[in-house]
A and B are shown apart, each in its own frame.
Chain A
Amino acid sequence: MKGLKDLFTAFAAVVLGLAAGAILMLAIGSNPFEGFSYLFRGGLMNIERIGNTLATATTLTLTGLAMAFAFRTGLFSIGAAGQMLMGGLTATALALSLNLPKWQMLPLILLAAMAAGSIWGFIPGYLKARFNVHEVVSTIMLNWVAYWTVYYTIPAYFKAKLETESARIPDYASLKVPWLTEIFKGSFINLGIFVAAAAAIVVWIILNKTVLGYELKAVGFNRHAAEYAGINVQRDMALSLGISGALAGLAGATFYVGYAVNMQIGVLPSQGMDAIAVALLGANSPIGVVLAALFFGVLHSGKGFMNAMTGIPPEIGDTIIAIIIYFAATSVLFTRVFDWLKARLRGRK
Chain B
Amino acid sequence: MWEIVSSIFPYAIAYTIPLLAASLGGLFSERSGVVNIGLEGLMVMGNFVCAVVIAFLQPSLGTAAIWLGLAMAAAAGAAFSLLHAFASINLRANQIISGTAINMVATALTVFLARTMTGSGNVRITLGFIPFDVPLLSSIPILGPLFFTKTYPTTWLMLAILALAWFALYKTRFGLRLRACGEHPHAADAAGVNVYGMRYAGVMLSGALAGLSGGAILVTFSGEFNGTVAGLGFLALAALIFGNWKPLGILGATFFFGFAATLANVSQVVPAVSKIPGLVLKAFPYIVTLLALVFFSKTTQAPKADGEIYDAGKR
* B200 CB, min distance to chain A CBs, angstroms: 16
Residues in B whose Cβ lies below 8 Å from that of A136: 37, 96
Q: Are A319 and B109 closer than 8 Å at their CB atoms? A: yes
A149: chain B residues within 8 A (beta carbon): 279, 283
Residue B124 interfacial (CB < 8 Å): no
A-B contact count (CB 8 A): 128
- Answer whether A127 and B101 are a contact pair too, CB < 8 Å, given A76-B96, A137-B237: no
Q: Which residues of B contact A319 (CB under 8 A)?
A: 105, 108-109, 112
Flag B281-315 by CB within 8 Å of A: 1 or 0 each.
Answer: 01100110110011001100000000000000000
With A78-B100, A273-B100, A333-B91 in contact, is A144–B286 under 8 Å at CB? yes
B241: Cβ under 8 A from any A Cβ = yes
A277, B104: Cβ atoms closer than 8 Å: yes
B interface, over-half SS = helix
| Interface bits A261-284 vs B (CB < 8 Å: 1, else 0) | 000000010000100110010000
Q: A330: which of B37, B98, B115, B277 is its contact (CB, 8 Å)?
A: B98
Tell me whether A145 and B100 are in contact (CB under 8 A): no
Please measure, in the bound complex, the distance between the C-alpha atom of A142 and the C-alpha atom of B285, giving whole angstroms: 11
| Contact, CB under 8 Å: A145 / B104 | no
Return chain A residues, CB-CB under 8 Å to B289.
137, 141
CA distance A286 to B76 in the complex (A): 38
Is the beta-carbon distance between B103 and A273 smaller than 8 angstroms?
A: yes
Q: Mark A102-140, 1 if CB is under 8 A from B, else 0.
A: 000000000000000000000000010001111011101
Q: Is B121 in the interface zone, CB < 8 Å from A?
A: yes
Q: Is the CB of B293 within 8 A of A145?
A: no
- For the complex, is B87 an interface residue (Cβ under 8 Å from A)? yes
A133 touching B293, Cβ below 8 Å: yes
Asked whether A152 is an interface residue with its Cβ less than 8 Å from the other chain, the reply is: yes
The listed residue (A24, A273, A277, A332) touching B92 by CB distance below 8 A is A332
Contact of A131 among B107, B112, B231, B297 (CB under 8 A): B297
Which one of B87, B116, B121, B282 lies within 8 Å of A326 (CB-CB)?
A: B87
Q: How far is the CA of A302 from the CA of B142 in the complex (A)?
A: 59
Task: List the B residue with the shortest CB-CB distance to A144.
Answer: B286
Say whether A132 contacts B298, CB under 8 Å. Answer: yes
Q: A297-323 CB contact bits vs B (8 Å, 1 = yes)? A: 000000000000000010110110111
Report the nearest B residue to A319, measured CB to CB: B108
- A333 to B90 alpha-carbon distance, docked (Å): 10
Does A45 belong to the interface (CB within 8 Å)? no
Q: Would A330 and B108 count as touching, CB distance under 8 A? A: no
Say whether B294 contacts A131, CB under 8 Å. yes
* Interface status of A28 (Cβ within 8 A of chain B): yes
Once bound together, how far apart are the Cα atoms of A300 and B108, in whole Å?
A: 13
The docked-state distance in angstroms from the alpha carbon of A318 to that of B83 is 18
B94 within 8 A of A: yes
Whether B290 pairs with A326 at a CB distance below 8 angstroms is no
Given A132-B297, A132-B298, A133-B290: A152 and B238 interface contact (C-beta under 8 Å): no
Q: Report chain A residues within 8 Å CB of B278.
A: 148, 152
Measured as residues with beta carbon below 8 angstroms from the partner, the interface class of chain A is 35 or more
Grouping DSSP codes into helix (H, G, I), strand (E, B) and loop, the A interface class, with mixed when no group exceeds half, is helix
B93 x A318 contact (CB < 8 A): no
- Whole-angstrom CA separation of A76 from B95 in the bound complex: 11
Q: Is B67 engaged at the interface, CB distance under 8 Å to the other chain? A: no
Q: Is B42 an interface residue (CB 8 A)?
A: no
Most buried by A among B97, B103, B282: B97
The 0/1 profile, CB within 8 Å of A marked 1, for residues 71-100 of chain B is 000000000000100110001111011101
* Chain A nearest Cβ from B206, distance in angstroms: 16
With known contacts A24-B112, A144-B231, A148-B279, A276–B97 Cβ distance under 8 A: yes
B234 at the A/B interface (Cβ < 8 Å)?
yes
B99-149 residues with Cβ-Cβ distance < 8 A to A are: 100-105, 107-109, 111-112, 115-116, 121
User: Which residue of chain A is the closest to B302 with respect to CB atoms?
Assistant: A134
A153 to B277 CA separation, bound complex (whole angstroms): 11
Instruction: Give Cα A254 to B101, complex, Å.
Output: 26
Given contacts A133-B294, A136-B37, contact A330 B105 (CB under 8 A): no
Instruction: Name the CB-closest residue of A to B41.
Output: A322
Distance of A134 Cα from B86 Cα, bound (Å): 24
Neighbour of B234 across the interface among A24, A28, A127, A140, CB < 8 A? A140
Least distance between A17 CB and chain B CB atoms (Å): 10
User: Given the complex of chains A and B, what is the CA–CA distance between A315 and B278 in angstroms?
Assistant: 33
Please measure, in the bound complex, the distance between the C-alpha atom of A144 and the C-alpha atom of B287, giving whole angstroms: 10
**CA of A323 to CA of B103 in the docked complex: distance in angstroms?**
11
Q: Considering the complex of A and B, which 7 residue pairs feature the smallest CB-CB distances, nearest first?
A: A322-B104, A318-B108, A313-B115, A326-B101, A315-B112, A319-B108, A322-B105
Chain B contact residues, CB within 8 Å of chain A: 37, 83, 86-87, 91-94, 96-98, 100-105, 107-109, 111-112, 115-116, 121, 231, 234, 237-238, 241, 277-279, 282-283, 286-287, 289-290, 293-294, 297-298
For this complex, 9 residue pairs linking A to B, each with C-beta atoms less than 8 Å apart, are A127-B290, A133-B297, A137-B289, A148-B282, A313-B112, A315-B121, A318-B107, A319-B112, A321-B104
Which residues on A are within 8 Å of B, measured CB to CB? 24, 28, 76, 78, 127, 131-134, 136-138, 140-142, 144-145, 148-149, 151-153, 268, 273, 276-277, 280, 313, 315-316, 318-319, 321-323, 325-326, 328-333
